[in-house]
């Protein structure tokens, strides 16, 4: 197939592009920069277009017209940004992505739209007046694509603008499906993790995802900060498992994915952020430690101090993957420790490659 991949050089996009090329597809890859796909730029089946999709004059329509399938991964998908630039988060994740969807509608092209598990918001167990017999029962935190209700915080907690923008986009795709027979598949990723997930924070203003903060603390012997004690939980999903599932959606055997929403995530890898910090510290000590660097301390910091005003959080989210199992025969395989170790190995190797050797005998 000829596949137009928008956001092809982000974390997920770069791994997916590799897989698409390996499977023999022709890929037209669009992104702001090509760093994460640098190793494939000479591939005869890849055309890379450096392009900001917000630029009013670009040839989206002709690229869509010439493609057999469109995959849209373009997003600001980092909580630090939801708090700092909420308007841009809305514009990119809704307004600009809608243009891509509408071009697919015009040209009758199938669209795979990456959305987010953030659409589910918080759990019922987290509500102040919830009186659940067993609030810890995972059933209260397990989200299903077609039946779960969404619980978001108030407008003053602007974290939820991302969730709302993505939710609205999903609803518009659904409406185009209903009214005009538009063929889409929506993917809701649950905390994908792996090599190239993020940059490591360099400046005070940098707010990548939690893995990168912890990795940076391990490499530099600084502090691992747990926002509000690190009690929130996530299900971390290794990128190879995620790409395998995504590829089955690309294949779309017997049209099984037509107008479907899929959770992609590993329900077996649920951990609190505190457990994540402790596991990373342990893996680092056992496998990667450079004797000169002290192991970081783990401390708790208030959310508003770490992120600023408007902070709120998703407390717990476990994917129900029954649909992916049933329609795609997919099952995640990577355990949490394996997932962390493989991701950490990439960053440790990269950081050691870039280390400036200390000056010796130049006195």
Instruction: Compute the least distance from the CB of residue 266 to ligand UDP, in Å.
Output: 14
State how beta strands 270-272 and 233-235 pair.
antiparallel
Give long-range contacts, CB 8 A cutoff, 24+ apart: 171-175.
172/98, 172/101, 173/101, 173/111, 173/113, 174/259
Per the listing, tokens 């596949």 go with: 3
The yes or no reply on residue 218 touching ligand UDP (CB under 6 A) is no
**Least Cβ distance, residue 308 to ligand UDP (angstroms):** 12
Residue ranges in the chain assigned as alpha helix (H): 11-22, 60-66, 79-84, 86-90, 97-107, 160-180, 210-220, 239-251, 273-283, 303-307, 322-328, 336-354
Q: Which stretch binds ligand UDP (CB under 6 A): 66-74, 84-92, 220-228, 334-342?
A: 220-228
Residue 5 main-chain phi, psi, to 5 deg:
-115, 115
Of 43, 157, 209, 289, the residue at the interface with ligand UDP (CB under 6 A) is 209
One of 162, 238, 284, 307 is an active-site residue; which one?
Answer: 162
Q: Are 231 and 273 in contact (CB under 8 A)?
A: yes
Distance set, CA 245 to CA 70, 179, 262, 293 (Å) = 17, 28, 9, 38
DSSP assignments along 285-308, one per residue: IIII--TTSPPPPEEEE-HHHHH-
In the region spanning residues 101 to 160, those forming contacts with ligand UDP, defined by CB under 6 A, are none
Q: How many residues bind ligand UDP (CB under 6 A)?
A: 13
Indicate the residue among 122 and 234 with the shorter CB distance to ligand UDP.
234
According to DSSP, the β-strands at 69-72 and 142-143 are: unpaired
Q: Is the CB of 227 or the CB of 243 nearer to ligand UDP?
A: 227
Which residues, at least 6 apart from 146, have a Cβ–Cβ distance to it below 8 Å?
261, 323
Q: Nearest distance from residue 357's CB to ligand UDP, in Å?
A: 30
- Closer Cβ to ligand UDP, 28 or 280, answer by number: 280
Nearer to ligand UDP, 124 or 301 (CB): 301
| Residue among 163, 183, 185, 191 that touches ligand UDP (CB under 6 A) | 191
According to CB under 6 A, which residues from 225 to 254 bind ligand UDP? 225-227, 230, 232, 234
Phi and psi torsions of 62, nearest 5°: -75, -30
162 in active site: yes
Extract the tokens encoding 265. Answer: 């995530």
Q: Is 316 in the site for ligand UDP (CB under 6 A)?
A: no
- Binding range to ligand UDP, per CB under 6 A, among 107-115, 167-175, 205-213, 322-330: 205-213
Task: Answer yes or no whether residue 213 interacts with ligand UDP by CB under 6 A.
Answer: yes
Partners of residue 142 on adjacent β-strands: 318
Site for ligand UDP in 258-277 (CB under 6 A): 273
**How far apart are CB 191 and ligand UDP at their closest, in Å?**
5
Q: Which stretch binds ligand UDP (CB under 6 A): 99-107, 131-139, 207-215, 259-267?
A: 207-215
Q: How far is the CB of 81 from ligand UDP (least distance, A)?
A: 10
Interface contacts to ligand UDP, rule CB under 6 A: 79, 191, 209-210, 213, 225-227, 230, 232, 234, 273, 313
- Which residues are catalytically annotated? 162
């Amino acid at each position: 197939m000829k596949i137009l991949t928008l956001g092809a050089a982000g974390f997920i996009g770069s791994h997916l592009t590799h897989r698409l090329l390996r499977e023999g597809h022709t890929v037209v890859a669009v992104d702001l920069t090509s760093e994460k796909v640098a190793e494939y730029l000479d591939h005869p089946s890849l055309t890379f277009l450096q392009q900001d999709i917000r630029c009013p004059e670009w040839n989206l329509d002709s690229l869509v017209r010439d493609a057999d399938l469109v995959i849209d991964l373009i997003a600001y998908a980092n909580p630090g940004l939801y708090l700092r630039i909420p308007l841009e988060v809305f514009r990119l994740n809704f307004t600009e992505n809608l243009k891509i969807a509408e071009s697919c509608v015009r040209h009758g092209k199938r669209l795979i739209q990456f959305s987010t598990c953030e659409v589910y918001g918080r759990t019922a167990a987290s509500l102040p007046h919830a009186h659940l017999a067993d609030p810890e029962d995972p059933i209260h935190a397990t989200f299903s694509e077609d039946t779960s209700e969404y619980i978001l915080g108030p407008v003053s907690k602007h974290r939820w603008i991302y969730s709302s923008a993505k939710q609205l986009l999903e609803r518009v795709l659904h409406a185009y499906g209903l009214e005009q027979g538009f063929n889409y598949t929506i993917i809701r990723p649950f905390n994908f993790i792996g090599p190239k997930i993020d940059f490591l924070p360099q400046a005070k203003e940098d707010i990548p995802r939690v893995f990168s903060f912890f990795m940076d603390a391990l490499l530099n012997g600084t502090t691992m900060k747990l926002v509000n004690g690190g009690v929130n939980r996530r299900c971390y999903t290794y990128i190879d498992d995620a790409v395998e599932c995504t590829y089955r959606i690309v294949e779309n055997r017997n049209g099984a994915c037509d107008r479907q929403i899929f959770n992609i995530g590993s329900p077996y890898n649920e951990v609190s952020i505190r457990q994540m910090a402790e596991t990373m510290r342990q893996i680092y000590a056992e496998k990667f430690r450079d004797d000169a660097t002290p192991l970081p301390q783990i401390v708790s910091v208030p959310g508003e101090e770490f992120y600023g005003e408007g902070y709120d959080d998703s407390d717990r989210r476990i994917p129900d993957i029954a649909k992916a199992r049933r329609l795609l025969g997919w099952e995640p395989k990577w355990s949490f420790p394996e997932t962390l170790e493989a991701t950490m190995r990439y960053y440790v190797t990269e950081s050691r490659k870039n280390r400036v050797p200390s000056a010796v005998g130049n006195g």
